[in-house]
Amino acid sequence: MKKTLKITDIIALGFMTFAFFLGAGNIIFPPLAGQLAGDNMLPAMSGFLVTAVGLPLIGIIAVAIAGGGWKGLTRDLPSKVATLMAVLIFIIIGPAFAAPRTGLVAYEMAVKPFITDASQTSLTIFSILFFAVALFFAWSRGKLIDMIGKFLTPALFVVLTVLAIAVFVNPQGTIVAAQGDYVTQAFTTGFLEGYNTMDTFAALMFGMLIVDVIRSKGVTDDKTTCTYLIYAGLIAAAGLAFVYVSLFYLGATSSSIAAGVGNGGTILTTYVMALFGSTGQIILSAIVLLACLTTAIGLISACADYFSTLTPMSYKKWAVLLAVVCAVVANVGLNMLITLSVPVLFALYPVAIALVALTLIRKWLPNPRLAYRVVLLVSFIFSMIDVAKYLKFDMSLFSSLPLFNYGMAWVLPTLIALIVTRFIGGKQPKDDDKHTVII
């Protein structure tokens, strides 16, 4: 008999997925973007929702269509290239940037305000404790739904709902004029700001972890597994959209109490204190600790799960190693970590987006093998123009490219490559499509 999940398990699976995505960047970036966008909040928020909600949801769907794994997503690429891409993405969302950032944000926003004389030592001690707790929860993959989806996330969602209601019922200021790039480029600036959440990367990697969790519940049928994966993605997307809309509005109405602070975490802290008084910091600490902890658990689990398939080291040994590395990297400081991550995001995000797009239209491509190679190469080459421009190199030679001034020079060349390979390339011999699942 085909094993299925109960409704409560499906909801818990969706909550678990939501919690994996809702981490440090999801909390600190929207308030600042909302404040800077001001009266252009709606187009800016729309752009942000495209990259921070729409693309991760489409990424989850792409993983489902490809059969639930990285091999299915990249079967038309040379195996070494596919492995290199996966390793780079896992390093970015794991020990190099995203996972340590969860510990840093948790310290800066949830713990540091309670420490009278905060120092590097206090950060080090907290980092060790934080990632030790994350390791404890990540130790058993099979219990992730029960531990996160049924307990930690509902608590997080309740506190977030209280904050959202308070923000809309009692805004702490009026919406003022847009600033900086949000004056003339609100949508595209919001779109690029959504890169910072790293959730399109995370979707490709969490998809595999979620499939493992579903199968640990006894579901073995591929089509049923991938249907549940899509359900989880939809629940997570709805939750993320709810959080982002409330945080954008919080930022847009924060100018009178947190003008010019330049940091989304500070905006959020100031706003919550204004709303709830002395208990505000406790509420904020609960939100930040739960959000960052659940994401750290998901990132350590996903990375350990993948790296254990590449090496003789077991999942548990990788989990320990990753937790230790994350604790060490977390001590470099939040601003430095964000600065280092931006050029890497500019380089690889377009490739991840192109990979998702190719997966969705693969069955209509006459030669998928050629299409994947050409489109991903084009997206990477032109993304490097945006990287070079960010690093202050003179790239005016390419200024005639559409969207060059918006940091999206890769879009048109990638789209052209996609269209050309849709109609040109000849027939590819029938390959093994066992990874493809028709939903």
pLDDT at 190 > cutoff 80 = yes
pLDDT at 432 > cutoff 60 = no
Arithmetic mean of pLDDT, 201-213: 80
| pLDDT value for 294 | 84
pLDDT tens digits along 350-364: 888 899 899 989 988
| pLDDT value for 338 | 66
| pLDDT value for 312 | 93
Q: How many CB atoms lie within 10 A of CB 82?
A: 18
pLDDT at 342 > cutoff 80 = no
Average pLDDT score, the chain: 85
pLDDT tens digits along 51-62: 899 988 988 888
Domains of the chain: which residue ranges? Answer: 7-343
